[in-house]
Structure 1
Amino acid sequence: MGLIICAAQTRPVRGDIHKNLLDHYHWIELAATNGAQLIVFPEMSITGYEREDAHKFSFSTDDKRLETIKKLSTENKLIIIAGAPIQINNSLFIGSFIFQPSSPTLIYTKQFLHDGEEQCFSASHHFNPTIKLESENIQLAICADIDHSIHPENAAKNHSTLYIPSIFFSPQGIPKAYQSLALYSKNYQMNILMSNYVGESYGMSAGGQSGFWNNDGHCISSLNDVNAGLLLIEKNGESCGSKIIYE
């Protein structure tokens, strides 16, 4: 068996963190059952996308509500990347928590904000860890980060072999995302695993179509734009296989 990584395509419930966490536990356990060693969720997956109310739903860096996810990471030997508004000191960031088995939780923060987000969030380049998984060097992105080619270029300069964007793109935005990610994967010789929502968040439709690109710029497999699901990718050297689970 090769390295198995996966993207969860979820349908968040606005304002219901408890229900969203239960949904995370479900997908994490399903990923573990299928032998995954890494699972990534969309942008602000634990809360759903928020702006003006983000501070009400924000998480601290050592938030006790994340204990179950930390436990699931260790029990299943699974790296889990899940998003939320994260309060660090006096600033609020759009961030991803990176849970690693029996290891401290790391944080990635969005570096390039979408127009309007600067009214509610800060941007930062200071929280940008490289995740190690077997022979992979992994770097993260969140949504509008992928609209700036300098972001994947910097990931490549940091010797990234796998680039993982967590996004909230509308159906209208997905074609551009696909075009950009195909270009980045080929130009920078990185595999790319992208996770997006379906349904609605922040009163806007999400475009789904979470996908995986090889370093030739080809989208090997993707989910549809309607259903919540799991996209599992098994990597054996340069060859990749996929499995799709919808619910």
Structure 2
Amino acid sequence: MTTLTVAAAQSISTAGDVHANIARHQRFIMAAAEQGVQVLVFPELSLSGYERGLAAQLAIAPDAALLQPLRDLTREVGVTAVVGMPIRLSDDSPVLIGALVLAADGSLAVYSKQHLHPGEEVAFAPGAGGAPLTLGDDTLALAVCADFCHASHAAAAAEVGAGIYAAGVLITEGGYAADSALLQGYAREHGMLVLMANHGGATGGWESAGRSAIWAADGRLLAAAPGVGDALVIARRQAAHWRGDVVPVKHV
């Protein structure tokens, strides 16, 4: 089994300031590259913040020039980044919660959140999901927050052969125990590595719990951020064994 390194980017988003958030994402991608990370997953709506009231004006096409600096950087340093952004698939289409795969080979793939939280329907429409990522012999399936609250979503990922299930989320302290238990349960039930990338600070009027985490395929916690703040939560596979690590990311 080949070596593989994946990570959750526990990042703090500035409300509606996409340019500032792109700069922060660039720092995360550089830090991930220094750690040998191959796939880096950011929280839900990481580039805009979880700002429902701003989603319509901020929504972009997945291939918008705005994201070219991030795409150039991922190709330059060899890190595939999954970033969160409100998207429109055409000029007259509804706004979706997107997870955009900016691949290290320069390609672009789109995942859109399938299951909305109550209240999100005022700003967003349900999306159609997206194809899993192929990483050599590994398959990684994506989820965005409420998607993982539906057991059928994780089960569908397992059915297509995903060995990794990666969710970009916004989870508050009040929901953390139940949500993390659900994700840990999927790891054990389906024999998948499960990654959860949570926001590192408050966003959209919600206080994030932070504590992004990765569980091994037997449900064992590999690594978790100790609280809020900018951090990389990393899982490395060598000789078929996974180990976890947490690395703070300095904000310049």
TM band (smaller chain)? over 0.9
The correspondence for 1:154, drawn from 149, 156, 166, is 156
Q: Which residues of 2 match residues 30-109 of structure 1 at below 5 A?
A: 30-89=31-90, 90-109=93-112
Alignment-mate amino acid for residue 228 of structure 1: D
Does residue 122 of structure 2 align to residue 124 of structure 1? no
- 2:10 is aligned to 9
Deviation digits for residues 25-67 of structure 1, max 9, x if unmatched?
A: 0000010011111111000000000212211111212111110
- 1:29 is aligned to 30
Deviation digits for residues 175-221 of structure 1, max 9, x if unmatched?
A: 11111011111111111111001221011100111111111111111
State the shift of 1:171 in Å.
Answer: 1.0
Q: Answer with 218-227 or 19-28: which moved more.
A: 218-227
Preserved contact between residue 8 and residue 232 of structure 2 (Cα < 8 Å) = yes
> Percent identity of the aligned residues?
28
CA separation in 2, counterparts of 1:185 and 1:230? Answer: 20
Stretches of 4+ aligned residues off by more than 4 angstroms: none
- 1:165 is aligned to 167
Query: Helix, strand or coil: the match of 1:205?
Result: coil
- 1:203 is aligned to 205
- For normalisation by structure 2, the TM-score amounts to 0.94
Preserved contact between residue 132 and residue 139 of structure 2 (Cα < 8 Å) = yes
CA separation in 1, counterparts of 2:4 and 2:41? Answer: 15
Q: Answer with 27-36 or 217-226: which moved more.
A: 217-226
Does residue 186 of structure 2 align to residue 184 of structure 1? yes
- For normalisation by structure 1, the TM-score amounts to 0.96
CA separation in 1, counterparts of 2:15 and 2:83? Answer: 16
Question: Which sections of structure 1, spanning at least 5 residues, go unmatched?
Answer: none
State the shift of 1:237 in Å.
Answer: 4.4
State the shift of 1:104 in Å.
Answer: 2.4
Preserved contact between residue 198 and residue 205 of structure 1 (Cα < 8 Å) = no
Does residue 241 of structure 2 align to residue 239 of structure 1? yes
Matched pairs, number: 246
Q: Which residues of 2 match residues 215-230 of structure 1 at below 5 A?
A: 215-230=217-232
Q: Answer with 212-221 or 236-245: which moved more.
A: 236-245
Preserved contact between residue 13 and residue 46 of structure 2 (Cα < 8 Å) = yes
- 2:20 is aligned to 19
Give the CA RMSD over aligned residues: 1.3
CA separation in 1, counterparts of 2:152 and 2:229? Answer: 32
